[in-house]
């Protein structure tokens, strides 16, 4: 990955407490996994930001390299990579996601 793209991704992650790199957006997820993430986050009535990777192929491929995670969606909370939809679903099922989100909102 080139340095310019890495800086762009770092900047996006640092600008948003809760960031989702996904296919589509909050109002129109374009895959089932992205939709799962949106449905989970919406249950918490929190502010979060999404990046539609379908609009930027460089980010779509770059985020996979940056995170060392091969799939989309990818969730970052307070600059930390959390994982994809399966990880978020597991965290939600054990109530750990609520703890992570509360820390992010209160920080």
In this structure, are residues 31 and 84 in contact, taking their beta carbons and an 8 Å threshold? no
- Give CA–CA dist 46/54, Å, rounded: 24
At 78, is the secondary structure helix, strand, or coil? Answer: coil
Instruction: State yes or no: 31 annotated in a binding site.
Output: yes
Place of tokens 């790199």: 21
Non-local CB neighbours of 85 within 8 Å, separated by 6+ positions? 33, 34, 36, 37, 73
Residues belonging to the binding site for [2Fe-2S] cluster are: 31
Residues belonging to the binding site are: 31
């Amino acid at each position: 990955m080139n340095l310019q793209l890495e800086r762009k991704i770092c900047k996006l992650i640092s600008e948003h407490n809760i960031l989702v790199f996904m296919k589509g957006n909050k109002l129109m997820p374009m895959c089932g996994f992205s939709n799962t993430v949106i449905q989970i986050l919406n249950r918490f009535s929190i502010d979060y930001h999404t990046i539609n990777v379908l609009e930027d192929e460089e980010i779509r491929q770059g985020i996979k390299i940056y995170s060392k995670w091969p799939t989309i969606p990818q969730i970052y909370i307070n600059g930390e990579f959390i994982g994809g939809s399966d990880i978020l679903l597991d965290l939600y099922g054990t109530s750990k996601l609520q703890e992570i989100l509360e820390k992010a909102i209160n920080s």
